[in-house]
Amino acid sequence: MDYLFSVIGTVLTVPSLLAILVGTVFGLIFGILPGLGSVLAISIALPFTFTMDIMSSISLMLAIYCSSVYGGSLSAILINTPGTPQSATTMFDGYPMTLQGKADLAIGWATGASLFGGLFSVSVLIFAAPQLAKFALKFGPEETFALICLALTCIAGVSGGSILKGLLSGVIGLFLAVIGTDSMSGSSRFDYGVFELAAGVELIPVLVGVFALTEVFWRLGEKVSKTPMNELKGGFRLAPFKEWALRWRTLIKSSIIGSLVGILPGTGAATASFIAYSEAKRSGRFRENMGKGEPEGIVASEASNNAVTGGALVPTLALGIPGDPVTAVMMSALIIQGIQPGVRLFTDHGPLMHSVFFALIICNIFMFFSGVFAARYVVKILKIPEILLLNMVLILSLLGAFSVSGRLFDLVIVLIAGLGGFILRVTNVPLAPVVIGLVLGPIFEESLRQGLIINDGNIIAFFSFNHPIALVLLSTTLAIILKLTFKELCDSLKIKRGHNS
Amino acid sequence: MLKEGDRDSLFAVFSIVVSLMLLYEAKKPYYEAGVADSGFSPVFFPLILIYVWLGLSILLLTRGLIRRKKQQPTKIQISFIKPLKGFLIVCIYAYLIPILGFYLASVIFSLIFMTVFGYRSKLPLLIISFIFPLLLWYIFTFLLNLSLPVSPWHVRI
């Protein structure tokens, strides 16, 4: 009992609660505004965690994550434009409800489903993460290397676009991680005589540049027409319990889908919401009405996308393998505080991890109440001119990147990363693998070199039956690469046949 | 207007050039002198990455050249002028921060950025340009205890 009180007491402090409140509001605004989103919000906030204590830092990140995923539903419902990709499917039934004059009810459904999905995924996290970490204690360098190969391949393959571009993006990220001093030999690598690069390329300036600056430049160049918002009214109204009870199967199923999808690397809340919506359309009680303003559609979408939040933390905390850019940034927040996610996290920092679980519960509750109180003001937020927001995002981004080490050189890194990210985006190269490659690069190299030392330089040992887990993981990696390459080849041939006929 | 295959090919060529430059750097004698831990040089892992990078770029180039034969030119759905303007303004902002300090540089940046991109409402322009950086300066200096670059006139005040 004392332990439980101690865990709860770590979270229920003024700094942590304040961090959750600020994170909830910040994340909600970024989630509501189309085009900004969870990754940008978290990237901007990350540098500010540098001066916070660990619990406040993690609480801030978690609050931003939960509320930004939820926030996208509000603009999806009110203006038929999802604030975040995760809420794309919420539009299908949310906006028709707005046209029927039931926007407040739709927001109530979205908020309640998000709360349920979020809390469900916390329970998955509480049970799954420690078990996975225990299993991962059997991992040696060979298994770690194989796991990262699989994770990068999944992320590269699922990020959108071709597997070739995804893998290239991942390799670029891995390469950025080797710049600087080699930890094993002490030699300087690829710094080209630039003194500041001796310490390597800092993660946060790259993150901020690749996500924040690239997004700003992209939005400056986009030709988008604005949706008129003069007649819009927000509000919050919760449906009666009886209505919720009629949709309980979809609520539970969507939460399970979201949690499982979150655990897989490379997939995210957007994938989860599409899968859950499709499943609800196939087997939901009110499936005939879906797409015409049926709350079951909103329930499926929102329960699943918020259920990803807890699920995605399972591999991040237990294995040190972030499944998407958002969890990669959160992992960076832990690393900044001197906590290395991975197999020993629950052994070395057990009480802290339990506090993190409790903090996630509080974040979901704050998210719910933020929806209740903020719903009527959403329209005002949506009316803020975009250029004002972009201006503020740029100032926050540069300031945040600078504040990490106080080096002006980091601003140069931000600018280069922003330009590079923009070029990659124009050529449809996914950006997420760059960042995840940068995060995982040091562990990847270390595990490969350690594995080769242990096996006297014999790479075949990684594929041997002495390391069955590594063998399975590497075989799966190869299978995924072959499958995706084959699929791309078939698509190319179909295009060719289509042009010929 | 460019075909998607051409865009991929151009990017692949650029990628090949970069990887060859990195390969040239990795082959320098300086790195061979740092052989450690059972004979693996410090560029052992980077070399693997560079070869994979080169291989993927060549595959991408090949694919782009094959696909372009059957593709129609398409317009890129984005203008480059505005992002370029934005990038240049941000570069100037980053350059001014160590010279004028965070606050002054931010004020100038905000005024220029919003004006260049067509925002003309005076009151929000002034609030965002003057008050927002002031608020950030306060949060950083007094709440987060992080010093920000100051202007040359700061000490004199």
What's the pLDDT tens digit per position in B25-77? 998 887 765 555 556 788 889 999 999 999 999 999 988 888 877 766 666 67
- The Cα A175–Cα B25 span in angstroms is 13
The least confident of A87-91, A270-274, A411-415, B39-43 is B39-43
Residues B64 and B112 occupy one common structural domain: no
Chain-centre distance of CA A100, in angstroms? 33
DSSP-derived secondary structure letter, A189: E
Tokens 């609480």 sit at which residue? Answer: A59
User: What pLDDT was estimated at residue A496?
Assistant: 54
Rounded mean pLDDT of B108-125?
90
Q: Which position has the higher pLDDT, A458 or A258? A: A258
Coil/strand/helix, residue B23:
helix
Residues B92 and B54 occupy one common structural domain: no
* Residues whose CB is less than 8 angstroms from the CB of residue A127 and which lie 6 or more positions away in sequence, other chains included: none
pLDDT surpasses 70 at A161 = no
- The Cα A103–Cα A111 span in angstroms is 12
CB contact under 8 A, A452 and B40: yes
Q: Which of A1-5, A400-404, B91-95 has the highest mean pLDDT?
A: B91-95
- The Cα A155–Cα A477 span in angstroms is 11
pLDDT surpasses 50 at B23 = yes
CB contact under 8 A, B53 and A399: no
Q: Is residue B29 part of a domain?
A: yes
**Which pLDDT band holds residue A464 (cuts at 50, 70, 90)?**
confident
Residues B63 and B91 occupy one common structural domain: no
Contact of B1 with B75, CB cutoff 8 Å? yes
DSSP-derived secondary structure letter, A35: T
pLDDT surpasses 70 at A31 = yes
Percent of chain A residues past pLDDT 90, beyond the cut: 23
Q: Domain boundary at B68, B95, B115, which?
A: B68
Residues B94 and B51 occupy one common structural domain: no
Chain B positions in Cβ-Cβ contact with residue A189 (cut-off 8 Å): 31, 42-43, 46
Rounded mean pLDDT of A174-188?
87
CB contact under 8 A, A414 and B94: yes
Residues B55 and B11 occupy one common structural domain: yes
Average pLDDT over chain A, rounded to whole?
Answer: 85
The H or E element that residue A146 is part of is helix A141-158
Chain A positions in Cβ-Cβ contact with residue B52 (cut-off 8 Å): 167, 171
Rounded mean pLDDT of A308-325?
84
Find residue A352's DSSP bridge partners. none
Nearest to B60 among A165, A403, A448 (CB): A165
DSSP-derived secondary structure letter, A343: T
pLDDT surpasses 70 at A266 = no
**Which pLDDT band holds residue A255 (cuts at 50, 70, 90)?**
very high
User: What pLDDT was estimated at residue A84?
Assistant: 80
Q: Which position has the higher pLDDT, A383 or B47? A: B47
DSSP-derived secondary structure letter, A267: -
The minimum CA-CA distance between B86 and chain A, rounded to whole Å, is 7
Q: Which position has the higher pLDDT, A259 or A83? A: A259
- The Cα A367–Cα A210 span in angstroms is 28
The least confident of A1-5, A196-200, B97-101 is A1-5
**Which pLDDT band holds residue B104 (cuts at 50, 70, 90)?**
very high
- The Cα A451–Cα A457 span in angstroms is 8
Chain B positions in Cβ-Cβ contact with residue A456 (cut-off 8 Å): 38
CB contact under 8 A, A395 and B132: yes
Q: For residues A44-79, b (16+ Cβ closer than 10 Å) or e, as one string? A: bbbbbbbebebbbbbbbbbbbbbbbbbbbbbbbbbb
3-state SS of B30-87 is HHHCCCECCCECCCHHHHHHHHHHHHHHHHHHHHHHHHHCCCCCECCCECCHHHHHHH
User: What pLDDT was estimated at residue B156?
Assistant: 44
Chain A positions in Cβ-Cβ contact with residue B94 (cut-off 8 Å): 398, 408, 411-412, 414-415
Residues B63 and B97 occupy one common structural domain: no
How far separated are the first and last CA of chain B, in Å rounded? 56
CB contact under 8 A, A168 and B22: no
Q: Is residue B76 part of a domain?
A: no
- The Cα A419–Cα A131 span in angstroms is 42
Q: Is residue B105 part of a domain?
A: yes
CB contact under 8 A, B114 and A223: no
- The Cα B32–Cα B42 span in angstroms is 8
pLDDT surpasses 70 at A174 = yes
For residue B91, count other CB atoms closer than 10 A to its CB.
15
User: What pLDDT was estimated at residue A353?
Assistant: 85
Total domains in the fold of chain B: 2
Residues B85 and B138 occupy one common structural domain: yes
Residues B92 and B51 occupy one common structural domain: no
Residues B56 and B35 occupy one common structural domain: yes
The H or E element that residue A94 is part of is helix A90-99
Q: Domain boundary at B12, B38, B68, which?
A: B68
Residues B8 and B61 occupy one common structural domain: yes
CB contact under 8 A, A406 and B119: no
Q: Is residue B150 part of a domain?
A: no
- The Cα A447–Cα B43 span in angstroms is 15
Chain A positions in Cβ-Cβ contact with residue B132 (cut-off 8 Å): 392, 395
Q: Is residue B153 part of a domain?
A: no
**Which pLDDT band holds residue A275 (cuts at 50, 70, 90)?**
confident
The phi, psi pair for A44, rounded to 5°, reads: -70, -40
Residues B122 and B91 occupy one common structural domain: yes
Q: Domain boundary at B17, B38, B68, which?
A: B68
CB contact under 8 A, A394 and B109: yes
Chain B positions in Cβ-Cβ contact with residue A398 (cut-off 8 Å): 90, 93-94, 97
- The Cα A61–Cα A167 span in angstroms is 28
**Which pLDDT band holds residue B157 (cuts at 50, 70, 90)?**
very low
CB contact under 8 A, A223 and B78: yes
User: What pLDDT was estimated at residue A108?
Assistant: 93
Residues B138 and B86 occupy one common structural domain: yes
Chain A positions in Cβ-Cβ contact with residue B16 (cut-off 8 Å): none
Chain B positions in Cβ-Cβ contact with residue A222 (cut-off 8 Å): 77-78
What residue in A sits closest to B41 (Cα-Cα)? A185
Nearest to B42 among A182, A399, A402 (CB): A182
What residue in A sits closest to B47 (Cα-Cα)? A175
> Per residue in A48-63, pLDDT tens?
887 788 889 889 999 9
The H or E element that residue A180 is part of is strand A180-181
User: What pLDDT was estimated at residue A45?
Assistant: 86
User: Which range of residues forms the domain containing residue B45?
Assistant: 4-68
The minimum CA-CA distance between B155 and chain A, rounded to whole Å, is 19
User: What pLDDT was estimated at residue A232?
Assistant: 64
Chain A positions in Cβ-Cβ contact with residue B57 (cut-off 8 Å): 168
- Of the residues B78, B84, B89, B120, the best mutation for testing chain A's interface (the one with the most A CB atoms within 10 Å of its CB) is B78
**Which pLDDT band holds residue B155 (cuts at 50, 70, 90)?**
low
